[in-house]
Structure 1
Amino acid sequence: MGFYNSWYTIVWVMFAFSLPSFARGSNDYDIESLNAFIHDHADKALLKPRTGTLYNISLPANFSGMEVSVVRLRTGEFWAKGANFSFFHIPPRIQPMPPVRRLSILYQNLGNWSSYYYNVPGYRLVAPVVGFMAYDSSNSSTVGNRTVDFSIMGDPISVHFLHSNVPAEGENDVTPQCVKFGADGSFKLQDMNESYVCITQGEGRFSVVVPDKQDGLEKFWAFGFVGLVLLLLVMAAIAILLRRKKKMRKMEEQAERGVAFDTFWVGGSKIPSASMVRTQPALENRYVP
């Protein structure tokens, strides 16, 4: 049993170390915590802002590489002119829902933190994850806490990835695609135009992806490794069974070379047994009266 337990432990430890290859599709950092952090930090940093002015929000040093900015707008002006800030072009004729007197638009560029919070299985990010959220700030000089949606009556919102390292379409046999991430970490892919512009009907976070051939190769090797581990486990089990049968045969041969005993079967084992012979009585004296 010691031999079996050793093989069992080794094989399953190897199998456990192979599991992280399949877990890379999950997010490493919590998105909801990030959203709460960005909103609270911007809300506290925005003191008596001027309407229509974009303010850059300083983040702690441990979030270096991430950019956050915010602008407060009157709804009437927003409807008439839209808003062109950061990566986003928000055209006129967009109504906040529910209707509000003022709104704040909070922009985010996750920069080099993008892949820590978002990933698309089978694809790789070739642009930072950028996004925006709108809040009702009618009764506050800060960002506000209640989110608002957009009702688009005219052209859609466009996201411009001007400073990304997006490869040209057809280069290295890849076709860049827009990706929109949902609040729960889900994603939706769509084609992008030649100017690397993504189109959306509402707020959210966006990026650009291309097929990840290396990711497919890693999965191939991971599946191959797991298959090898399982094969070793089966071979170890077979070797143990053969060793046990060989040991049983040796025991039976040793028993047969000794005193000849009758045998009988108990379950799947052959057990030696002495024959029951009754001793015949004998008279000590032959004289019979």
Structure 2
Amino acid sequence: MFSFPSFSTILILFLTKIPSFPSQPTPFSSRLLDSTLQDHAFQSFPHHRSKTGTIYTGNVPVNLTGITISALRLRSGSLRKRGYNGYKEFNIPKGIVENPYVKRVILVYHNLGNWSQVYYPLPGFLYLTPVVGLLGYNADNMTAKGLPELDLRAPEDPIVIKFETLKVLGNGYSPVCVFFDLFGGVVFDHVLNGSVCSCVTQGHVGIVVESSPAPVPAPAPEHVPEYPIAGGDGGGGRGGRNRGWWVGGSVAGGVLLAALVVVLVLWVRWCRGTKRIEKMTVAADHGVPLAVAAVGRAEVPVAMSTRTKPILENNVPLAVCTYNVYICGRSRDKSEMMSSENNSSFALKSILEKDKLNNTNFLEWHRNLRIVLKMAKRLYVLETPIPTALENNTVVAKKAFDKHKEDAMEVACLM
């Protein structure tokens, strides 16, 4: 059995608060390090009126002392048109494309310092520079934690990384650039101008040299990252290929749709023309057949020249009017006709001279004749027949009879 003093001691040990220390990320969890640095980099922005295009330096946890971080917020359109030069070691060219598209992007800078070999170990190589990184995030939520990275690409000019100092090298050593992507891949490249590296996407970069004759280890196989990248199923290359297939399929579908529309329009026009021809054929079959005459070796339809003779409103045939004109011409000599023409009261007779009567314009000619006669006050000649005998043998009646007869003669000559 426990005595009271021993029981009290055990109880005090359980109730005493044991101080806790922040856990340190494992050396192989570079993706967890990226998430932790993103959280602290976002905290570097002021709560009010943070400026676009200004570099803000952040603070790292105590257990990561030696690592420096910075944050830079830019508009996506400005980054694409102008780029950004002088962001620490990075010179960002114009034409940067992010996937998915966001209005504003935050570029988080890492300088791992003496932690480079811990989080990005390379057996058989020695780091001549610290590992530096550049990652892009969506800037819509400035207080978010654990955000997935955007897929940043430089399709035109590469991103240039200029290191200021390198460790002293012995003779026979050739430095090379090493690039770590977000999926565990490692790529080696030549060093430009002694201390310049380049890349076309976001990630971490450093300069290394072989420390022993051991062969360069093969790049690690691609694996699923601990924290998925925004923009879909893996790297930006597959996303770009998927986007290319989508664009190609859209163009092909548009061309096919346009071709179908053209074929449909041509088919509709052909159907309308066929129906119109069928209607004309039916109308020709049900119409009055024409006589056929031989012209040389061919037989052509011939229309009859017979037509209905026009009748004036006072029931006087056109032949009578023509006869009166003939009589008028015979009863007057040339001088008399010229005098009558010059002194005629038919002021609008030029209308009849312009459109003379033929086999097709009787209605229009008759309308013009009535206008001329109405203007000359002779329209009653057409509407009232000449009396055959005087009703009463008065002087007034005889004058009216003579005037009607004379006006009728002038109208007949005018016609």
**Interval of TM-score (by shorter of Structure 1 and Structure 2):** 0.5 to 0.7
In structure 2, the residue matched to 1:14 is: none
In structure 2, the residue matched to 1:155 is: 157
In structure 1, the residue matched to 2:400 is: none
What 5-or-longer segments of structure 1 have no aligned partner? Answer: 1-26, 217-289
> 1:204 aligned to 2:206?
no
C-alpha separation between the residues in 2 aligned to 1:163 and 1:143?
A: 34
Q: C-alpha deviations, 1:72-113, integer Å up to 9, x for none?
A: 001121112212201111011212222211000000000011
AA aligned to 2:134 is F
C-alpha separation between the residues in 2 aligned to 1:128 and 1:214?
A: 22
Identical columns (%): 32
What is the correspondence of 1:157-236 to structure 2 with a 5 Å cutoff?
Answer: 157-165=159-167, 167=169, 171-213=170-212
CA root-mean-square deviation:
2.4
Kindly state the Cα deviation for residue 142 of structure 1 after the two structures are TM-superposed.
6.5
Q: C-alpha deviations, 1:185-236, integer Å up to 9, x for none?
A: 44111111124111100000011111112879xxxxxxxxxxxxxxxxxxxx
C-alpha separation between the residues in 1 aligned to 2:54 and 2:144?
A: 13
In structure 2, the residue matched to 1:99 is: 101
C-alpha separation between the residues in 2 aligned to 1:196 and 1:82?
A: 22
User: SS of the counterpart of 1:106?
Assistant: strand
In structure 1, the residue matched to 2:63 is: 62
C-alpha separation between the residues in 1 aligned to 2:150 and 2:163?
A: 25
In structure 2, the residue matched to 1:71 is: 72
For CA contacts below 8 A with separation 6 or more, give which structure has more relative contact order. Answer: 1
In structure 1, the residue matched to 2:307 is: none
The change in CA–CA distance for 1:183 and 1:94 in structure 2 (over 3 A counts) is closer
Q: Does the 8 Å contact 1:104/1:144 carry over to 2? A: no
User: SS of the counterpart of 1:32?
Assistant: helix
Q: Does the 8 Å contact 1:95/1:150 carry over to 2? A: yes
> Which is further off, 46-55 or 198-207?
46-55
In structure 2, the residue matched to 1:6 is: none
User: SS of the counterpart of 2:171?
Assistant: helix
C-alpha separation between the residues in 2 aligned to 1:143 and 1:200?
A: 27
The change in CA–CA distance for 1:172 and 1:183 in structure 2 (over 3 A counts) is same
In structure 1, the residue matched to 2:147 is: 145
What is the correspondence of 1:45-56 to structure 2 with a 5 Å cutoff?
Answer: 45-48=44-47, 49-56=50-57
The change in CA–CA distance for 1:183 and 1:195 in structure 2 (over 3 A counts) is same
Q: Does the 8 Å contact 1:115/1:125 carry over to 2? A: yes
C-alpha separation between the residues in 2 aligned to 1:61 and 1:140?
A: 23
AA aligned to 1:55 is Y
C-alpha separation between the residues in 2 aligned to 1:77 and 1:175?
A: 38
C-alpha separation between the residues in 1 aligned to 2:189 and 2:140?
A: 35
C-alpha separation between the residues in 1 aligned to 2:166 and 2:181?
A: 21
> Which is further off, 172-181 or 113-122?
113-122
Kindly state the Cα deviation for residue 153 of structure 1 after the two structures are TM-superposed.
3.7
> Which is further off, 178-187 or 207-216?
207-216
What 5-or-longer segments of structure 2 have no aligned partner? Answer: 1-25, 216-415
Kindly state the Cα deviation for residue 143 of structure 1 after the two structures are TM-superposed.
8.2
The change in CA–CA distance for 1:46 and 1:201 in structure 2 (over 3 A counts) is same
Equivalent in 105, 117, 127 of residue 119 of structure 2 = 117
Q: Does the 8 Å contact 2:107/2:137 carry over to 1? A: yes
C-alpha separation between the residues in 2 aligned to 1:79 and 1:165?
A: 35
Q: C-alpha deviations, 1:135-159, integer Å up to 9, x for none?
A: 1113547688242122324211011
The change in CA–CA distance for 1:143 and 1:153 in structure 2 (over 3 A counts) is farther
> 1:81 aligned to 2:69?
no
C-alpha separation between the residues in 1 aligned to 2:55 and 2:39?
A: 17
C-alpha separation between the residues in 1 aligned to 2:153 and 2:45?
A: 27
User: SS of the counterpart of 1:37?
Assistant: helix
AA aligned to 2:98 is P
Q: C-alpha deviations, 1:253-284, integer Å up to 9, x for none?
A: xxxxxxxxxxxxxxxxxxxxxxxxxxxxxxxx
TM-score, structure 1 as length reference? 0.59
Structure 1 residue runs of 4 or more that deviate by more than 3 Å after TM superposition: 138-144
Q: Does the 8 Å contact 1:178/1:209 carry over to 2? A: yes
Q: Does the 8 Å contact 1:136/1:144 carry over to 2? A: no
In structure 2, the residue matched to 1:43 is: 42
In structure 2, the residue matched to 1:231 is: none
In structure 1, the residue matched to 2:368 is: none
Q: Does the 8 Å contact 1:123/1:215 carry over to 2? A: no
